[in-house]
Structure 1
Amino acid sequence: MDAVDVSEHYEVTTAEETPSLLSIILDANPRAWAALSDVLPMSRAIANILVFVNAHLAFSNSNQVALIGAHLDRAVWLYPSPPKPKSKTGADASGDVPMQDVPAAAAPSSSANKYPHFAQIETAVLSSVRSLVDNTTEADLATTTTQLSGALTLALCHINKAAQALCSPVANLEDSRKANASDAPPTVRGRILVISVSDSEPSQYIPTMNAVFAAAHAQVVIDTLSLSGDPTFLQQACFNTGGTFLAATHPQGLLTYLMFGLMADSEAREALIAPTHDTVDFRAACFCHGRVVDTGFVCSICLSIFCELPPGAECLTCGTKLALGNYGAKPAVLPRKKKKKRRIVNGNGREETGSATGTPRP
């Protein structure tokens, strides 16, 4: 029939888009933002981040976003905001605390000039940041450590929960094994963007690296935009997860870095040339004093790193007796092999042989 009526029939199939979940971790260190206030105030930075969030959501109706604040002594949700607990525990019958997009008290006023979803996110983020700043005390300012590891853990848990919510129930065990296979397409493309303004804290090395390895195992990309400071551990996080690390030389152009360097997700980057970082600082923090060291002693059992030999040559983590072997000994110098002398015979150089006369010529 196709040849008779000269028509072409196509088999139409529908394919759902894989949602992209962007989790933004904002370094809310007050000391770092105070030092950066002349170049980029925190209020202007949040306004630029909200524009970036709106652009991410405008790409697809299925895209999602989450914002987490990494403070001095805690990691808090900026969006979605947890509701006020109605009971003492604040959990339902299953023990889970429900989340909502925006608190009822902070509901935005209706405006025809602003998309309602964008207005909800803006109201929730500004309300959460204002509450975070108001609850910061002088005792909190005595601590200089940013809880980056806690924020990474919250982001990974949120991505995993979103992926589990989108999974369809499997019929049998064989289908569940196929769904959990490594080559199965992901139900959600999750990635984490860290906006850093402070240095990496050596005491946060172990929990941060644990979160990075978990992200690499879950195929979650970690991107970093460093406005100031030297985030050594975040460079390693971007390298291990295949993310992008950008060090902003002009922090006032925050929106430009976000829109042109960090807008594309992991799937779109396969068709683009993503910015790369030339050098990566692979230094680690020792387990004994928390110092960032270039060389040290490594336990062969638990891979713990020590800047100096532990007391009694015993690993402080697993208790294994460390055997140093010939550590500190001078390297052995092997004598050079004597080369055979070459003598000239009839104007030609030839290797010396054991015969007294030369080789007869025809």
Structure 2
Amino acid sequence: MDAVDVSEHYEVTTAEETPSLLSIILDTNPRAWAALDNRLPLSKAIANILVFVNAHLAFSNVNQVAIIAAHVNRAVWLYPAPPQRAAFKDASGDVDMDDAPPTGPPPTSANKYPQFAQIESTVLSSVQSLMNETTQDDLAETTTQLSGALTLALCHINKASQALSSTTASLADSAQPNSTAPPPLKGRILVVSVSDSAPSQYIPTMNAVFAAAHAQVAIDTLALAGEPTFLQQACFNTDGAFLAASNPQGLLTYLMFGLVADTEARKSLITPTHDKVDFRAACFCHGKVVDTGFVCSICLSIFCELPENAECLTCGTRLAVGNYGSKPAVVPRKKKKKKRVVNGSGREVTGSATGTPRP
């Protein structure tokens, strides 16, 4: 029995949790929130979203979160806050370092987890700064910069994934040969929308959606108001969840019960689904959402009407429209042989001169 030794036959595997990065895009269109103010003010919506963020971070210590505001004229980071640039030298030659940390200690509370308190203070200050910087000229613009926010979220997920891959590779080199590397980062994007999809945002939004589908990043959408047509297509193409809130006051309920699970946990759950998806596209010539149109076979550009000289406005390819506009060919129908009623019964006429005798 001493010759039998199985102590070296155990396979060593890692039991580390897979980090989950949740990127939340908050639609901060002032006009849309003004129309929704009597049912759900923006301040209350942010408070509910912060509770949802705390629940996501409480699932695991390795979970991460990022919050981006899709404003009318730009996309702004709410958390983590971007570092401020240093000011230029003044007449005296002194440089005011605006990006230096504050001298006093950060605000803390004995009844709140420090990370939760930091996220809350950063998000509230960033939103307040964004609203203070919004001018009357900005309010004249009604288009929400959703594509820019999606691009920022995808870049942040890619950067975090690359940082995790480099750390994992260094740990795998120093680990035992039989150990397995931890799985990659689970990234997903949650869009809280309150406005309609702008036709001018169709092309950049679809480019971001295709990039997310290629990177296996799911895009979830919670529509509190409006008709986000393009976001329905984004959720369908990336295997995400789309929820249209019939009662915006139940924002936290929709978030906690329908969108709290990550992409890995959804494999064991019944996720909310949407039966109808609006697959309409916006034309490249006028930016109108169309049901039918002309599509270039080379660059796949869509036009609501035939361009001048039948040339694509994007790549210049001449469109082969065939016999478009001509009347369809009418094929004459074959005349059927009429039946004649003989002795009260309908039958075909035969060559017999006399009818069938009856008893």
TM-score exceeds 0.5: yes
CA 1:58–1:332: 2 relative to 1, 3 Å? same
Matches within 5 A, 1:106-125: 108-125=106-123
1:307 counterpart = 2:290:
no
- The aligned amino acid for 1:147 is Q
Letter of the structure 2 residue corresponding to residue 155 of structure 1? A
> Contact 1:222 / 1:242 at 8 angstroms: preserved in 2?
yes
C-alpha distance in 2 between matches for 1:106 and 1:302: 57
The 3-state SS of whatever aligns with 2:151 is helix
Distance 1:19 1:187 in 2: 8
> 1:282: which partner in 2?
279
**1: distance between equivalents of 2:70 and 2:105?**
24
Q: Are 2:221 and 2:243, in contact at CA under 8 Å, matched by a contact in 1?
A: yes
Return the letter of the residue paired with 1:142. Answer: A
Counterpart Cα distance in 2 of 1:104 and 1:230: 43
- 1:255 pairs with one of 252, 255, 259: 252
Cα-Cα RMSD: 2.8
Q: Alpha-carbon deviation of 1:14? A: 2.7
- 1:13 is displaced (CA, Å) by 3.2
SS at match of 1:192: strand
* Counterparts of 2:60 and 2:299, CA distance in 1: 45
CA distance in 2, matches of 1:21, 1:234: 20
CA change 1:133–1:209 in 2 (3 A) is same
**Who is 1:162 aligned against?**
160
| Aligned equivalent of 1:208 | 205
Q: Any gaps of 5 or more consecutive residues in structure 1?
A: 89-98, 176-183, 341-362
- Distance, in Å, in 2 between the alignment partners of 1:228 and 1:192 is 19
Shift of 1:328: 3.0
Specify the code of the residue in structure 2 equivalent to 1:121: I
Residue 345 (structure 1) aligns with: none
Paired position in structure 2 for 1:130: 128
1:292 CA drift (Å):
0.2
Query: What is the SS of the residue equivalent to 2:285?
Result: coil
Match of 1:139 among 137, 140, 153: 137
Cα deviation for residue 187 of structure 1 reads 1.7
Aligned-residue offset at 1:12: 5.6
Structure 2: give runs of 5+ residues left out of the alignment: 89-98, 174-180, 338-359
Given that residues 168 and 182 in structure 2 are in contact (C-alpha distance below 8 angstroms), is that contact kept between their aligned partners in structure 1? Answer: no
Equivalent residue in structure 1 for 2:215, among 209, 218, 228: 218
What is the aligned partner in structure 1 of residue 149 from structure 2? 151
Q: CA deviation at 1:105?
A: 7.6
* Structure 1 residue 110: Cα displacement: 2.0
Instruction: Please give the per-residue CA displacement for 1:163-213, whole angstroms capped at 9, x wherever unaligned.
Output: 000113799xxx9xxxxxxxx985211000000000000000000000000
2:84 corresponding residue in structure 1: 84
Instruction: Kindly indicate whether the alpha-carbon contact (under 8 Å) linking 1:106 and 1:124 is maintained by their aligned counterparts in 2.
Output: no
Matched residue SS, 1:194: strand
Whether 1:227 aligns to 2:224 is: yes
Q: Do the aligned partners of 1:108 and 1:119 also contact (CA within 8 Å) in 2?
A: no
Distance 2:56 2:235 in 1: 20
Tell me the secondary structure at the aligned position of residue 325 of structure 2.
Answer: coil
Distance 1:30 1:105, change over 3 A: farther
- For residue 167 of structure 1, give the secondary structure of its aligned residue in structure 2: helix
The DSSP-based 3-state class of the residue aligned with 2:25 is strand
- 1:317 matches 2:307: no
1:240 paired to 2:237: yes
Hey, what does 1:346 align to over in structure 2? none
CA change 1:270–1:75 in 2 (3 A) is same
How far does the alpha carbon of each residue in 1:21-47 deviate from its partner, in whole angstroms, 9 at most, with x for none? 000000000000000000000000000
Which deviations, in whole Å up to 9, do the C-alpha atoms of 1:149-176 show, x marking residues without a partner? Answer: 00000000000000000113799xxx9x
Count, aligned residues = 314
2:18/2:182 contact within 8 Å kept: no
Q: Deviations over 1:215-254 (max 9, x none)?
A: 0000000000000000000000000000000000000000
Going from structure 1 to structure 2, the CA distance change for 1:326 and 1:188 (only over 3 Å counts) comes to same
Tell me, yes or no, if structure 1 residue 41 matches structure 2 residue 41: yes
Alignment of 1:189 with 2:186, yes or no, is yes
Task: Indicate whether 1:272 and 2:269 are aligned.
Answer: yes
Matched AA of 1:129: V
Find the residue that maps to 2:237 and give its secondary structure: helix
**Overall identity of the aligned pairs, in %:** 79
Q: How far apart are the structure 2 equivalents of 1:106 and 1:36?
A: 38
State how far apart, in whole Å, the 1-side matches of 2:261 and 2:238 are.
16
Deviates more, 1:210-219 or 1:184-193: 184-193
- SS of 1:279 mapped into structure 2: coil
- Contact kept, 8 Å, 2:232 with 2:278, in 1: the verdict is yes
Question: How far apart, CA to CA, are the structure 2 residues paired with 1:191 and 1:210?
Answer: 17
Letter in 2 for 1:261: G
Correspondence for 1:71: 71
3-state SS of paired residue (2:166):
coil
**Within 1, Cα distance between the matches of 2:189 and 2:270?**
19
Structure 2 residue matching 1:168: 3-state secondary structure: helix
C-alpha contact 1:194 1:222 (8 A) present in aligned 2: yes
- Residue 310 of structure 1 aligns with an amino acid whose one-letter code is P
